[in-house]
Amino acid sequence: MLRPLPALALILFAVLCFSVLSSYKGEDTKDSEKKQIKTKSERSSQDIYVPQSVHAVSLPTSANFAGEPLPMERFDAKERLDRELLRNSYYHSNTILNIKKTKRFFPVIERILAEEGLPDDFKYLAVAESDLSNATSPAGAKGVWQFMKGTAKQYGMTVNSEVDERYHLEKATRAACKYLKSLKNKFGSWTMAAAAYNVGGNKLNKVKTQQLSDSYYDLNLNVETGRYVFRIVALKEILSNPSQYGFLVQDHQKYPPLNNYYEVEVAESNVDWAAFAKKYGTNYRLLKVYNPWLIASKLSNKNKKKYLIRIPK
């Protein structure tokens, strides 16, 4: 028969067991910490998690603006085009909106460019200028074609406190064509005409004279104008081939043309546009959408000039 162990012996035995178990546990904890450290180290050097893949764009082997080639054999021309392709292909929301707006605005612009004898590529200049919107620049240029007030009046557009035809797409496009043709006659190429449209004819002529060159690609221009033609070409490339740059916009997702209207001639004075809209079965909001060049709530028209007002059907 076994004798019970003395109380002191039991206490010593318990302390010994606890010590042994603690040492095993400590070794396990150290091993676990070592494994965690090793795992973190391995992750940092081998298994870095990348949430997305961002790719550089592929440059076209050749490019042109209005049939005039870009000097793609030059490294600086390649890099300048690459910059604009990258900026616009990764400017997702803005580029998608531009793609959507092409269905509404391009048919009108393309028709007028063809009638006026300008290369079709100038529709992309309108995108570069305003993103196909009736924008206002910090300098006061307005409309899709970004005319300054003085230039607009010079090319036959009415600009006052009630009517601003810089917002009239057809009239502004006609004026832009005339202006661009005059710049082409002055500078000898469509590329230089586009640059002059951005910086102004007098300023471009001064730079051209100082730097002894007639080529846009040889001139050291201000940053905005130096990027301008490359931006137009990049927009042309992306908007012509959107899927190649990852933009998948179906035709039914694009904004439809605003061609469901009839016209009413207005020559009287003191026209209230809200009352006018109600009279013709529409509303003030839609009247302004179809006629954005009507910038006030009324038309004084003291000279009784004739205006064609579009009424949505």
| Eight-class DSSP state of 297 | S
pTM to 2 decimals?
0.82
Task: State the average pLDDT over residues 160-173.
Answer: 97
Comparison of pLDDT for 170 and 52, the residue scoring more = 170
92-113 tens-digit pLDDT: 999 999 999 999 999 999 999 9
Rounded to whole angstroms, the Cα distance separating 109 from 106 reads 5
Average pLDDT over residues 4-14: 55
Average pLDDT for 229-258: 96
35 pLDDT more than 80: no
What is the reported pLDDT for 280?
Answer: 97
pLDDT above 50 (res 38): no
| % the chain with pLDDT above 70 | 84
Give the separation between CA 160 and CA 165, rounded to whole angstroms: 9
Write the pLDDT tens digit of every residue in 192-205: 999 999 999 999 99
Is pLDDT of 183 > 80? yes
State the Cα–Cα distance between residues 122 and 179, nearest whole angstrom.
12
Angle between helices 92-116 and 122-130 (to 10 degrees): 140
**pLDDT at residue 116, rounded to an integer:** 98
Question: Angle at the Cα of 64 (from 66 to 249), degrees rounded to 5?
Answer: 90
Contact 224/203 with Cβ under 8 angstroms? no
Give the tens place of pLDDT for each residue, 260-310.
999 999 999 999 999 999 999 999 999 999 999 999 999 999 989 999 999
- Of 38-47, 130-139, 171-180, 220-229, the one with minimum mean pLDDT is 38-47
Whether the per-residue pLDDT at 168 is higher than 50: the answer is yes
Interaxial angle between packed helices 122-130 and 169-187, expressed in degrees from 0 to 180 and rounded to the nearest 10: 110
Q: What is the pLDDT of residue 127?
A: 98
**Above 60 in pLDDT, residue 3?**
no
Asked if 145 and 130 count as a contact pair (C-beta separation under 8 A), the reply is: yes
The amino acid at residue 283 is N
Query: pLDDT at residue 40 above 60?
Result: no
Report pLDDT for 44. Answer: 52
Instruction: Evaluate if residue 77 carries a pLDDT over 80.
Output: yes
Per-residue confidence (pLDDT) for residue 258, from 0 to 100: 96
Structure tokens at 53: 């893949």
Contacts of 54 (CB under 8 A, 6+ apart): 90
Q: Residue 4 — very low, low, confident or very high, per pLDDT cuts 50/70/90?
A: low
Token pair 């509303």: residue = 283
Q: Rounded to an integer, what is the distance from CA 43 to the centroid of its chain?
A: 39
pLDDT of residue 26: 52
Per-residue pLDDT band at 51 (split at 50, 70, 90)? confident
Separation CA 63–CA 233 (nearest Å):
8
Q: Please tell me the predicted confidence (pLDDT) of residue 17.
A: 54
1 — pLDDT class (breaks 50, 70, 90): very low
Report whether pLDDT(33) > 60.
no
Among candidate residues 298, 119, 222, 195, the one with its CA nearest the CA of residue 307: 298
Tell me what the pLDDT averaged over the chain comes to. Answer: 89
Mean predicted confidence (pLDDT) in 140-162: 96
